[in-house]
Amino acid sequence: MTTGTKKGTVYIVDDDEAIRDSLQWLLEGRDFHVRCFDSAEAFLNHYDPREVACLIADIRMNGMSGLELQDQLIERNSPLPIAIITGHGDVPMAVDSMKKGAIDFIQKPFEENAITALVARLLEQAQSQFADQQQAATREALLAKLTARESQVLERIVAGRLNKQIADDLNISIKTVEAHRANIMEKLGANTVADLLKVALGSGTKA
């Protein structure tokens, strides 16, 4: 039973062609978009961190291992949710990968429904992280519009300072504070102080 094409790409990295093919067949049969690579190095050459995606990587591969691939992605500050494929003797290593941030590990032989559920969870996390990144980028772009003085005024508004207190802090007139405040509201697209705080504090920013 399928639920329509899922958002995002499932990357499968494994040097075992039979495992790549079986996972691809299983996941594409359940409406996931899948891309396969036979090595960690090949994957890294093609991976775009701006894409909504998740990764399933074998723990033991020729060349770079799944754990080394995970380390590389951590070094790059990649948001990519990861699951590790393991054999029977690899559970201690898989536990180590989870301590570094991997979401789960998949033991061979695979249980189809468990893999499908795991991949759905990985992509859900990827979509959430992507939305957070977009929101942060929007917030940074808005805040970059402010002058240095406007940033100082905003900082004090967020701290709960009144116009008179802000004027005293910055040694400017209340009218000047009010003018800065109006400019800040306009530049950040805020209609109320609550809207202003959402942008300044990074919560609920409109993308």
Residue at which a domain ends, from 85, 103, 135: 135
For residues 19 and 5, what is the distance between their CA atoms, to the nearest angstrom? 22
Rounded distance between C-alpha atoms, residue 132 and residue 3, angstroms: 25
Q: Is the pLDDT of residue 28 over 70?
A: yes
How many domains would you assign to the chain?
Answer: 2
Domain boundary among 97, 116, 135: 135
Is the same domain home to 123 and 23?
yes
pLDDT, position 4:
44
Q: Please report the pLDDT score of residue 206 as a whole number.
A: 43
Host domain of residue 86 = 9-135
> What is the 3-state secondary structure of 21-83?
HHHHHHHHCCCCEEEEECCHHHHHHHCCCCCCEEEEEECCCCCCCHHHHHHHHHHCCCCCCEE
pLDDT at 5: 53
Share of the chain above pLDDT 70, in %: 94
Cis status of the peptide bond prior to 81, with omega within 30 of 0: no
C-alpha dihedral (96, 61, 34, 104), degrees to nearest 10: -10
Q: What CATH number is given to the structural domain containing 44?
A: 3.40.50.2300
Q: pLDDT per residue over 163-189, tens digit each? A: 999 999 999 999 999 999 999 999 999
Residue 31 within a domain? yes
At 83, is the pLDDT very low, low, confident or very high (cuts 50, 70, 90)?
A: very high
Mean pLDDT of the chain: 88
